[in-house]
Amino acid sequence: MKNNKHVISFFLSFYRRLSIPWWLYLIAFGSGVVYAEVGMRVSEYLVRVNKGELYNSVILGYVFFTIFNALLGFLRPLVEEYANQKVILRVRFSMWRKILHLPMDQFGKEQPSSLVSAVTNDVTQATLVISGIFSGAASLFGFVRACMILYQYNSPLAAYLLLCIPVAVAMFVIVGKLQFTIMKKRYAALNEMTTFFSEHLSAGKYVKAQVMEEKELESGYAAIDSRYKADIYYAFMEQIQVLTNSLYSLLTTVVMAVGGSRLINAGKMEATGINMFSTYMTQVNLYMAELLTVWQNVMGSKGALVRVGDILDMEEEHTEKGNSWTESENRDIVFKNVNFGYGSEKEILHDFSVCIPGGKTTAVIGDNGSGKSTVMKLIQGFYQPDSGEIWVGGNKISETSPRECHKKFGYVLQNNPLMSGTIRDNILYGTEGETPEEEMKKAAGEARADSFIDALPNGYDTTLGEAGNRLSSGQKQRIAIARALIAKPDYLILDEAGASLDHDTYMKIYHGIRKKMEGNTIVFIAHDMREIAEADYLVVMHHGRLEACGTHEEVFAVSRTYQEYLQSTEAS
């Protein structure tokens, strides 16, 4: 949470990004101004009634303005609420657009559930400032009008009230600061609680399997407790505001009483004059309380929106920017002296240079954490190297449009996210235009997913929501493989794609993939020697460096890691 801009520049840059329905707010504002004016009329008629002017015209006037006032009081909030919901809708749209356009590496840094919380919870505070501008302006108008009437009615007594100004200023500063701090904490606690529950409930089975219920009970209590405390502080803050208003009102009454008695004693005011002054004074204090609420909302809303502001300020990935992909005879994947680390963390790849031959199947092997998956992500341009160059098929990845680059690759991981929707939706996810049914079924066949899909009552139209629990992880993996194959990628990246499948099944799929990709490039990570043995080319990594590359014989001659792989396979 780093957005520490001044409140004005914070909101200027925040709202600059949205299209605000100003006309709706103007209607609400206009009715607010009329509401203030009508309120004055109600007071005027009330004063006349109190003075005993019980004529029909006075009573009728009082009734008319009171009803008009009530009607405006009903309509104004409705219009305002409609406009507010439109603003929230647009902030959510902006957030979703922004999140989708964040660079790939940002997804590694951000907690997904914290982003969920920002989109669902924090944005609800986005309207308080806009509505505050208008209702504040209306209140200010009412406040100034009421002050003017006070001054016209009795300028010496009104002058006494100037004494209260320093107290009012102090009240605004303190309440504003407190509200900002409390709301920032409140939304951070809400974020923490949402993150905790979305993480722990989606991993619920794992928590139970690890017998972690008791420990997680305490962690959950702590997350709930911090939200509870933040809400208590918030409730405390609301009451502080009520108290501040009452004390301020009391102060003005005391000042008015002292000042009034002095004027009465000096013969400069009639004794009854204090009653009428007090009626107008009530209006002034009412508007003052409204202005304070508006200010409190502005500061509180800044506190709640700090995280949303940070996200909206994040740099987007310009997926179209860069060179177009050019086809060339040379389809090799080349790393030239690449150094890379995730963010400012330690370096993972050190002076890594290799040429992975295009049109062949290459296995990347190495110990856990040696940087294999990192290489796969760099090939596809998900991250950019700190130094050095990566070329794929004659295209320099850092200078190529990310969108075009991603389209050239199929990527299957050990655990692939599937979306809610049907099996068909998932296989076709990412394909453009209409895909013939046979093509989809062919891809499913190549991934050996066809037989189990056909056995489901709704076949390809089975929703994953309903079948999700019934599908094994191997079946889900086959859907993911079908999804990668249907796109007919020039380069297929398999990052332990067979880990959740039994060896025989995976080898059949693997052979199918190789047949389908014949002439194209496959790069895969595997720990299984039987799969590695069928690769055309090997790349061996050790602690983020290239240990060896070449054919099996070439690599065996120089790579200790590869020799150990073979020995352990023979032993087992």
Q: Would you tell me which residues interact with ligand ATP (CB under 6 A)?
A: 108, 342, 345, 348, 366, 368-374
**35 CB contacts (<8 Å, ≥6 apart)?**
69, 72, 73, 76, 138
Choice between 314 and 456, CB closer to ligand ATP: 314
For residue 485 the two structure tokens come to: 């194959």
> C-beta of 365: minimal distance to ligand ATP in Å?
9
> C-beta of 234: minimal distance to ligand ATP in Å?
35
Choice between 118 and 539, CB closer to ligand ATP: 539
> C-beta of 326: minimal distance to ligand ATP in Å?
29
For the sheet with 387-392, list strands across it: 347-356, 333-341, 387-392, 395-396
Choice between 56 and 344, CB closer to ligand ATP: 344
Using alpha carbons, select from 465, 463, 460 the residue that is nearest to residue 438: 460
Choice between 27 and 364, CB closer to ligand ATP: 364
> C-beta of 401: minimal distance to ligand ATP in Å?
23
Choice between 490 and 495, CB closer to ligand ATP: 495
Choice between 259 and 371, CB closer to ligand ATP: 371
Choice between 255 and 349, CB closer to ligand ATP: 349
User: What Rg do the C-alpha atoms of the chain give, in angstroms?
Assistant: 35
**230 CB contacts (<8 Å, ≥6 apart)?**
182, 185, 186, 188, 189, 190
> C-beta of 403: minimal distance to ligand ATP in Å?
22
> C-beta of 113: minimal distance to ligand ATP in Å?
17
Choice between 488 and 527, CB closer to ligand ATP: 527
Choice between 110 and 425, CB closer to ligand ATP: 110
> C-beta of 348: minimal distance to ligand ATP in Å?
4
> C-beta of 541: minimal distance to ligand ATP in Å?
7
Please answer whether residues 397 and 385 qualify as being in contact, where contact means their C-beta atoms are separated by less than 8 angstroms: no
State whether the Cα torsion 374-376-381-384 is positive or negative. positive
Q: Which helix (H) or strand (E) is 370 found in, with range? A: none
Choice between 265 and 368, CB closer to ligand ATP: 368
> C-beta of 88: minimal distance to ligand ATP in Å?
32
Listing DSSP states for 487-529 in one string gives T--SEEEEESTTTTS-HHHHHHHHHHHHHHTTTSEEEEE---H
CA dist 141 and 269 (Å) reads 28
> C-beta of 373: minimal distance to ligand ATP in Å?
3
Please answer whether residues 354 and 362 qualify as being in contact, where contact means their C-beta atoms are separated by less than 8 angstroms: no
Other C-beta atoms lying within 10 Å of the C-beta of residue 369 = 12
> C-beta of 115: minimal distance to ligand ATP in Å?
16
Choice between 402 and 544, CB closer to ligand ATP: 544
- Read off the amino acid at residue 103: P
Q: At what angle do helices 273-313 and 56-100 cross, to 10 degrees?
A: 10
Choice between 155 and 368, CB closer to ligand ATP: 368
> C-beta of 201: minimal distance to ligand ATP in Å?
23
Using alpha carbons, select from 38, 118, 130, 46 the residue that is nearest to residue 81: 130
Other C-beta atoms lying within 10 Å of the C-beta of residue 97 = 12
Using alpha carbons, select from 333, 365, 359, 353 the residue that is nearest to residue 533: 365
> C-beta of 415: minimal distance to ligand ATP in Å?
12
CA dist 535 and 545 (Å) reads 21
Using alpha carbons, select from 291, 283, 261, 282 the residue that is nearest to residue 273: 261
Using alpha carbons, select from 31, 47, 64 the residue that is nearest to residue 279: 47
Choice between 69 and 380, CB closer to ligand ATP: 380
* 336 phi and psi angles, rounded to 5 deg: -120, 110
**391 CB contacts (<8 Å, ≥6 apart)?**
332, 333, 334, 336, 397
CA dist 386 and 398 (Å) reads 11
